[in-house]
């Protein structure tokens, strides 16, 4: 999508260590900082640049400084049964809460076949696929979703009401990578628009509408107007029922309900991060489901069937001008191999943020920019 040929590269190890150092200087305990840095570097390795180090300063470091994100995460178990639990994250680090929640779901699934944990009062937890892959790596089907600050307009509406609300699945495969579908329920998400802004490019038509229903592509102004109810993201399928926009809108609503109703958490306009003109915690909700494959069939048989499905899809007839079909999780796997070998590209806008953090925290790093 973007030309990284001119962007300097930083090794995965260096970038992960840098994020760890920033987080610990911000007050995040070392063990928790390792978790957060691992989630973020995983996104960058996968090529999901909207959720990696680009989130470090504006979404985590700055919010800790603003007093709306607790660097020390305290997780309360509100309710628990043999296969279920409800956690309250007390506005701590979403990554730490998310990992604990999926670990709990996996533990319950190992004993009872299925496990689910609902979370309230959390924060941005990074890529949802990190948690579903935890389940897949444990031989289970993983499902997760989260609500977010209002961005998506309902079909036939123009007001941002729903978050980009990913609905994410991972399933074990006999291939080198698991099937992982990790995507927003909007055509694109705010983080992707932020990446376009970092590169100084307009977004494609159809991603965003204004409060009169007109299509917009002016990236920087859109990011400002999304927070002012002057612009909204379109759901998967776009603004019309003719193109299936109501389906994306419906799936976003499913995630909103599962991220709020089970745990009695905040939803829709309560997630703007502003109250009476002042910044407040976002108090996001998540859900995590682990399904033990062995409760249905042998894990090896499940993996082979999954792999056969994926291989048949990739081997199907190609459209003119295309010589390859991909399945979910494949591009991320291939990108991770390349980036583990060659490092993570850092664009000019991100270079400035990294330099700011180095100077502000007096860190000893010699980056190639």
Is residue 226, in this structure, part of any structural domain at all? no
**Residue 20 shares a structural domain with residue 120:** no
Same domain, 288 and 368: no
* The Cα angle at residue 197 between residues 41 and 51, in degrees rounded to 5: 20
Q: Which residue, of 260, 281, 299, is where some domain finishes?
A: 299
Burial class (CB in 10 A: 0-12, 13-18, 19+), 184: buried
In a domain, 351, yes or no: yes
Q: What is the pTM of this model?
A: 0.95
Largest CA distance in the chain: 57
Same domain, 289 and 160: yes
Dihedral class, residue 27 (left if φ above 0, else alpha if ψ from -120 to 50, else beta): left
- Smallest CA-to-CA distance from 286 within 149, 152, 121 is with 121
**Which of 266, 299, 332 finishes a domain?**
299
Q: What range does the domain containing 17 cover?
A: 1-65+309-369
Which domain CATH number covers 287? 3.30.1370.60
Least confidently predicted of 4-8, 22-26, 221-225, 305-309: 4-8
Tell me, what's the pLDDT at 168? Answer: 98
- Does residue 343 carry a pLDDT above 80? yes
Examine residue 254 and state whether it is found in any structural domain, yes or no.
yes
Q: What percent of the chain has pLDDT over 90?
A: 94
Strands (E), the chain: 9-10, 76-80, 84-88, 114-122, 140-146, 167-171, 179-181, 208-210, 215-216, 231-233, 274-275, 278-279, 284-292, 344-345
Region 348-353: mean pLDDT is 95
- Boundary of a domain, candidates 243, 266, 299: 299
Compute the average pLDDT of residues 356-368.
96
Specify whether the CB–CB gap between 170 and 160 falls below 8 A: no
Question: Same domain, yes or no, for 134 and 43?
Answer: no
Same domain, 168 and 295: yes
Domain identity same for 169 and 47: no
- 124 and 145 in a common domain: yes
C-alpha pair distances (Å), 198 with each of 43, 54, 73, 193, 220: 17, 10, 31, 9, 9
Residue 180 has pLDDT above 90, yes or no: yes
**Segment 193-218 mean pLDDT:** 93
Residue 276 and residue 339 share a domain: no
Q: Domain for residue 156, yes or no? A: yes
55 within domain boundaries: yes
Please say whether the beta carbons of 163 and 149 come within 8 A: yes
Q: Are 291 and 316 found together in one domain?
A: no
Task: Give CB contacts under 8 A, 24+ apart, made by 218-221.
Answer: 219/193
Higher pLDDT, 53 or 194: 53
- Identify whether residues 104 and 181 lie together within a single domain: yes
State the CATH number of the domain containing residue 349: 1.10.1530.10
Spatial separation of the C-alpha atoms in residues 304 and 198, rounded to whole Å: 42
Judge whether 144 lies within some domain: yes
| Separation between Cα atoms, residue 210 and residue 131, nearest integer Å | 34
Query: How many domains is the chain built from?
Result: 2
Contact assessment for residue 22 and residue 63, using Cβ atoms and an 8 Å cutoff: no
Taking the C-alpha atoms of residue 17 and residue 7, their distance in angstroms, rounded to an integer, is 20
pLDDT of the residue at 191 = 82
Question: φ and ψ at 188, to 5 degrees?
Answer: -140, 170
Q: Are residues 166 and 289 in the same domain?
A: yes
Residue 353 domain-assigned?
Answer: yes
Say whether 195 sits in a helix, a strand or coil. Answer: helix
What single DSSP character describes residue 162?
A: B
Residue 1 pLDDT: 59
Asked whether residue 159 is domain-assigned, the answer is yes
Same domain, 77 and 181: yes
């Amino acid at each position: 999508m973007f030309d990284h040929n001119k962007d300097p590269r930083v090794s995965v190890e260096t970038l992960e260590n840098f994020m760890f150092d920033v987080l610990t200087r911000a007050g995040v305990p070392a063990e928790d900082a390792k978790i957060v840095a691992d989630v973020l570097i995983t996104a960058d390795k996968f090529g999901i640049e909207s959720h990696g180090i680009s989130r470090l300063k504006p979404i985590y470091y700055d919010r800790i400084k603003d007093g709306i994100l607790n660097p020390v995460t305290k997780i309360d178990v509100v309710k628990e049964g043999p296969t279920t639990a409800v956690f309250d994250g007390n506005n701590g680090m979403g990554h730490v809460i998310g990992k604990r929640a999926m670990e709990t779901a996996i533990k319950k699934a190992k004993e009872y076949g299925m496990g689910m944990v609902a979370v309230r009062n959390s924060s941005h937890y990074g890529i949802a696929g990190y948690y579903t892959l935890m389940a897949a790596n444990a031989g289970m089907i993983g499902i997760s979703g989260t609500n977010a600050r209002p961005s998506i307009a309902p079909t036939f509406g123009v007001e941002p009401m729903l978050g980009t609300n990913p609905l994410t699945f991972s399933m074990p495969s006999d291939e080198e990578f698991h099937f992982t579908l990790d995507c927003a329920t909007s055509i694109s998400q705010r983080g992707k628009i932020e990446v376009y802004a970092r590169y100084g490019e307009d977004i494609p038509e159809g991603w965003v509408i204004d409060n009169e229903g007109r299509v917009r592509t002016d990236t920087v102004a859109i990011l400002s107007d999304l927070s002012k109810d002057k612009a909204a993201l379109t759901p998967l399928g776009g603004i019309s029922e003719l193109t299936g926009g109501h389906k994306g809108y419906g799936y976003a609503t499913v995630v909103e309900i599962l991220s709020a109703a089970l745990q009695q958490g905040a939803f829709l306009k309560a997630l703007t991060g502003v109250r009476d003109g002042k910044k407040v915690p976002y108090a996001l909700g998540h859900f995590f489901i682990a399904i033990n494959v062995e409760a249905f069939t042998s894990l090896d048989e499940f993996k082979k069937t999954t792999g056969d499905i994926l291989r048949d899809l990739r081997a199907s007839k190609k459209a003119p001008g295309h010589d390859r079909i991909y399945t979910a999780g494949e591009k991320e796997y291939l990108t991770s191999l390349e980036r583990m070998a060659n490092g993570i590209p850092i664009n000019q806008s991100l270079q400035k943020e990294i330099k700011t953090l180095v100077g502000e925290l007096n860190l000893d790093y010699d980056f190639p920019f």
